[in-house]
Amino acid sequence: MKKNLVILTGAGISAESGFSTFRDSGGLWEQYNVEDVATPEGYNRNPQLVTDFYNIRRKQLIDAKPNRGHEIIAELESQFNVTVITQNVDNLHEVAGSSHVIHLHGELMKVTSSFSPNDPRYIRTLKPEEWEVKIGDTAADGSQLRPFIVWFGEAVPKIEEAITYVEKADIFLIIGTSLNVYPAAGLLNYAPADIPVYLIDPKEVHIPSYRKVYVIQKVASEGMEEFKKLMEE
């Protein structure tokens, strides 16, 4: 019987694919304030700016490719029941072949209603050629299409689902996250006390827990190669 491997991923898993986040230095994100492009208030103030911003991000994502870290996670499905819980809004886990991915913060290639963003009736996946959303493009309820992204200050609808998988984990792996963003950072507290916990990150990460964590201080692709070998021993 396969063990349950639950993997929490953050920006670090996609860094080698050239996909940056707010916390990376350099790149697109430093040209904008988080409050302007990743909050409901920013969207209400200037929907054109926010729409344009996510159009640029979407166009970048279309050209991005999964790296070896993503690929190894997908390959581990042959050994484990793998659940990926990601803070990332890219679809690189799915492109690499992962079959069970929980997106805590939404998905960049999806759009939804400005009135009811979490209503499944209004969530739509864009084809690559549909990456550009314009002001005036509407959801089925007549409201302006907005990105299907959980912005700062909004509830995280998938967190309860994520917790149920962490609670049943036999192995918990954390990759490329600062463990500063809640509620995702709190998932470690739901992992059973007697299971092994691994963390892969090239930087030193402050772990908000007293439990023992096996740290692999490498970039995601190299760290995943090491983790894979450990799982084969």
Q: Among residues 119, 149, 179, which one ends one of the domains?
A: 149
The residue segments making up the domain with residue 129 are 20-63+109-149
CA–CA distance, 225 with 216 (Å, rounded to integer): 10
HSE-CB at 22 with a 13 A cutoff on CA atoms is 16
pTM given for the model: 0.92
pLDDT for the residue 185 = 77
Dist. CA 203–CA 184, nearest whole Å: 19
**Residues 177 and 214 placed together within one structural domain of the fold:** yes
The confidence score (pLDDT) of residue 184 equals 77
- The verdict on 119 and 206 lying in the same domain is no
Type of residue at 208: P
Residue that finishes a domain, picked among 149, 181, 213? 149
Whether residue 100 is found in the same domain as residue 209: yes
Q: Please check whether residues 43 and 131 belong to one and the same domain.
A: yes
Strands of 2-141 (E only): list them: 3-9, 80-86, 101-103, 106-113, 124-125
SS3 content of the chain, % helix, strand, coil (to 5): 35, 20, 45
Co-location of 128 and 203 in the same domain: no
Cα–Cα dist 97/134, whole Å: 31
In terms of domains, do 47 and 75 share one?
no
Total domains, the chain: 2
Task: Report which of 37, 47, 15 is spatially closest to residue 149, judged by C-alpha positions.
Answer: 37
Give me the average pLDDT of each 10-residue run along the chain (233 residues). Answer: 95 84 53 85 95 92 93 97 95 96 96 96 95 96 96 93 97 87 82 94 80 92 95 85
Cα 14 off chain centre by: 9
Which residues are designated catalytic? 105
Both 224 and 178 in one domain: the answer is yes
Residue 210 and residue 115 share a domain: no
CA distance 159 to 38: 19
Residue 15 confidence (pLDDT): 86
Residue of 231, 194, 196 whose CA lies nearest to 215: 196
The domain that holds 54 is classified in CATH as 3.30.1600.10
Say if residue 94 is in the same domain as residue 163: yes
Examine residue 183 and say whether the peptide bond preceding it is cis (omega within 30 degrees of 0).
yes
User: Residue 25's pLDDT is what?
Assistant: 47
